[in-house]
Amino acid sequence: MANQYRIAVLPGDGIGKEVMPEGLRILRMVERKTGAFHMMFDIYPWGSDTYLGTGRMMPEDALKILTDYDAIYFGAVGLPGKIPDHITLWEFILPLRQGFDQYINYRPTRLLPGLRGSLRDKGPEDIDFVVIRENTEGEYSGAGGRIHIHTDQEVAIQTNIFTRLGTERVMRYGFELACKRRKKLTSATKSNACQFSMVFWDEVFELVKSNYPEVQAEKWHIDALAARFVTNPETLDVVVASNLFGDILSDLGGALQGSLGLVPSANLNPEKKYPSLFEPVHGSAPDIAGKKIANPIAMIWAGSLMLDFLGEAEAANLVMRGIETTILQGKVLTPDLGGKASTAQVGQVIYEQIEQL
């Protein structure tokens, strides 16, 4: 009997609504092709339109509505100029990550064959690593406040929270992943300046490291590591970082891939107690929304990550082969990759490539 999955679909805003249909279409294709599973999709039109109409990005009981789904497939959210970015983050994205304990943010960084990346002398063999970002605490814990607002005595305090549980589990996940890859792990730190949080981070790193003698483990200060992303990305395998450092590094990694229109992300609850969330990282991109030229590959690649996490490795591999073949041929690409194709045209070619596999 085929495996059954309930997927909550959140197209969101801007180009999220444009790339989501291509992602869903590809998922239906590999569902039919493998015959191994069936996905039931429920679409929830939450986001900026909801906020403008109700004052909330999503319903008050959104987590209760979503809690029994196997996964969440998410497009993009945000409406710059009308809704402040911190509203989008704290009333939509972070409630999902923190409420569903999606403590792992998994960001693959690969320069796919056929593409020219941002680095002049680096090719696909040089850029292939994963950033594992702590996703529920650290610098994004939401602890702090402001007093004496709009006066000369105004004070703003943002408190970073690092727990032993949160720090150890993200590092352990990183080490386990490194064991499955090239057995190398790099920890991002800044313990020379952050004498409490990052010294603690380093201590936990050393503790976890002792359980994985087969992994070549190292720690690098965040500034030097950011430079290394650009100068020597081929020396990286798995990078583990705090919430803020991981956010910055993973976006830098995305820039190395040639376009943010290619970059997927997975927000994981590894124990599957709660649904995990899979998304492209390009955001709502209001500057091109409505032009039908958004690159659907990040959305489709996020679908591959979702399939793999659910245990459908064959289908996940089919999706990636479809993406890779389309890019390698280089005939039908969106403008961000130097082509002239529309969102739907790229999706159609990937669909046809998978059909022929």
- The residues spanned by each domain of the chain are 1-100+273-357, 118-256
Q: Which two tokens stand for residue 242?
A: 């705090």
pLDDT digits (tens, 9 = 90+) for 205-217: 999 999 999 999 9
| pTM given for the model | 0.96
The dihedral through the CA atoms of 332, 333, 339, 343 has a sign that is positive
Q: Does domain 118-256 have CATH number 3.40.718.10?
A: yes
**1-100+273-357 and 118-256, same CATH topology:** yes
Distance of alpha carbon 99 from alpha carbon 53, whole angstroms: 24
Distance of alpha carbon 274 from alpha carbon 119, whole angstroms: 39
Written as one string, the DSSP assignment of 23-74 is HHHHHHHHHHHH-SEEEEEEE---SHHHHHHHSSSS-TTHHHHHTT-SEEEE
pLDDT digits (tens, 9 = 90+) for 151-203: 999 999 999 999 999 999 999 999 999 999 999 999 999 999 999 999 999 99
The dihedral through the CA atoms of 62, 305, 279, 99 has a sign that is positive
SS3 content of the chain, % helix, strand, coil (to 5): 45, 20, 35
242 — pLDDT class (breaks 50, 70, 90): very high
Fold of 1-100+273-357: Isopropylmalate Dehydrogenase (3.40.718)
